[in-house]
Amino acid sequence: MKIQSLPKTSVKRSLAALALMAASSAVPAGALDLSATLATAINTTIDFAPADLPIPASQAPHGAVMEMSITESGAFTLRVQFPKFTYRKTGVLIEHESSTPEEPFYTADIPGSGGVAGIHVERYVNGIVGVWWDISDENGGGLLGGYALAPTIRRDGNANYTPAAYNTVFLRAGPILQDGENSTPDDPKLGTGHGSLIVLPSGRSIFAGVLPDGKHVVGSGPLTDFLSVPIMLEASGGKDSLVCNMPTMVIEDTFQWYKSPSTHDPIWPAGGQLGGWVSTAPYTPPASGEYAVRGVYDQPLNATLEFLAADRPGAGTSRDPVPFLSQPFRLKLNHQAVFPAPNAAKLDVNFHPQTGFFTGSVKLPATPPLKPKKVSFSGVVKQYENDSEAEGFYLADPLPGTLDVPQVSGLVRILPYVLPGE
């Protein structure tokens, strides 16, 4: 939630709504659940800054990961992790005079240069803790805003968490934001990314993959009772970052991606902020006699490879895309893909069933006298109860005299084959 001037009741109501949506077991009402570690990702612009929080101009538009640990005595440590630095505060929570057994409420004042930042903590009946800031300056002005933090948990022994080998993750970017304005709905500069999330028995999680511009990215965070991982992913080179509460079940959540300008970036040279969706699914390698993509059956053509992009001729729009290239093929039980002749697009797909990744290449078509160009793609298989889908992306910066557009990015999708008319 972006911090803004709001009445306290509005902030408390928002936090309560978030708490009710959390998938956590009930905890009896009463005193604050001390000896706890709580966390959340803040994937919106950070501008709540207490006077003593030195946010550099380069970090101001970025999100953060917030963690808070509380001891039995009420002593707390607050940690806000930004891409380039960490803000820490310590203090002691004191029960407020308005606190009741049904609605326990604790506060702590943190003096800062030019003002006072008050941290207020409230526990809801399902264990979620609301943390909100009340920042006032010497002129009587102030900011008010808050976040819902969930208790960190272990993976093993938690009834709400279904253990899996790991999760495959898909990152779908939305329109780029420049100076607070959305790009047009048909902006072709959309992309996708993907990776794998490993949740250790301790609850600590590790993510490795690629952002929608192809940059390698890694990150780590704790598993929370939201059944999500508050995580900040940092790209190779340390200039770009992505912040999200990454779900560990078959659900979606939002992310915020912060890109720095780069003259070497063929898709987003000006940089900016991109919102998008992150979806995950538990992944288990296929057993002997099972296909890499669930829902595929033994028949001559049993899978379809599709390419979608708003900037390809005849491909529809980003809101209503249609494949500009769709090719049925045979997926074998040894996870090899066989494309029927003549295979003019030079399609090639390689599945890596132990990791859930797939890679491949395609010769993107062009209208003569322009020439086609060979482009690589990659993605992940997301498994559901009875079927699965494989999605990925490609990026191309066409050479002079090739393709029909100056820049190309698009979605790659692999689905079970459906006979015409069915």
Distance, in Å, from the CA atom of 388 to the CA atom of 250, rounded to the nearest integer, reads 11
250 CB burial (10 A radius; 0-12, 13-18, 19+): middle
Do residues 202 and 153 lie in contact, with contact meaning Cβ atoms separated by under 8 Å?
no
Whole-number pLDDT of residue 330: 96
User: Greatest CA separation found in the chain?
Assistant: 79
Whole-number pLDDT of residue 179: 43
Do residues 302 and 331 lie in contact, with contact meaning Cβ atoms separated by under 8 Å?
yes
**Cβ partners under 8 Å of residue 160, min gap 6:** 23, 24, 25, 225, 227
184 or 46, higher pLDDT: 46
Question: Tell me: the pLDDT tens digits for 1-42?
Answer: 222 222 333 333 333 333 333 333 333 333 444 567 888 887
CA separation, residue 364 to residues 2, 42, 94, 161, 392 (Å):
42, 39, 64, 42, 16
Q: Whole-model pTM?
A: 0.77
Q: Across the strands, what pairs with 26? A: none
- Mean of the per-residue pLDDT values for the chain? 75
Whole-number pLDDT of residue 305: 96
Q: Which residue has the tokens 């003002």?
A: 115
305 or 86, higher pLDDT: 305
Whole-number pLDDT of residue 230: 93
Token pair for 257: 């991606």
pLDDT band at 329 (very low <50, low <70, confident <90, very high): very high
